[in-house]
Amino acid sequence: MPVVADMKSSLKKAMFDKNDVEKNILRVVLGEVNQLQMSKQQGNKPVADEQVYKIVRKIMQSNNEVIEKLPDDNRKAVLFQENTILDGFLPHQLSPDEIKIELLKLNLDNSKKSIGVAMKYFKENEMFVDGNDVRIAIESLGG
């Protein structure tokens, strides 16, 4: 099921359950998705899951920045809860150890060129990774 459909389903459930935090954050994300879909660059085509993940990560990063600046209060707890909800819609990201295991299969050296090869491999195999984790893992290969 595409992530947007999953979010819409979760929004309906949140409305039924009267879960205001989930309802509000999902409306924000779906609003951003709708805005992107209506943009000239998208041409009213459906938004790909990767684009939705990017929106979700951007909102989570924004929440984290606000959390750092807030004193301990109720708003901070709401932002943590929003991030927990949003994290549930992101695909599993490989840990640094899992990345190293995959890199060993590729028999790469520790050159900068290997980072591009590795990122292409992860993308083609629909494995979600943090680029910094890949860079660090490749640098640790030695070679």
- pLDDT (tens digit, 9 = 90+) per residue, 57-96? 999 999 999 999 988 788 899 999 999 999 999 988 888 8
Say what the pLDDT of residue 6 is. Answer: 95
Print the domain residue range for 124: 96-139
Sign of CA dihedral 87, 2, 37, 12: negative
Distance, CA of 122 to CA of 127 (rounded, Å) = 5
* Backbone dihedral angles phi then psi of residue 93, each to the nearest 5 degrees: -100, 135
Q: How many domains does the chain divide into?
A: 2
Contact assessment for residue 99 and residue 79, using Cβ atoms and an 8 Å cutoff: no
Angle at 110 between CA 106 and CA 112, to 5 degrees: 100
Residues 35 and 17 in one domain: yes
Say what the pLDDT of residue 143 is. Answer: 55
Residues 35 and 100 in one domain: no
Highest mean pLDDT among 29-38, 111-120, 122-131: 29-38
Confidence of residue 1 (pLDDT cuts 50, 70, 90): low
Residues 63 and 114 in one domain: no
The whole-model pTM stands at 0.73
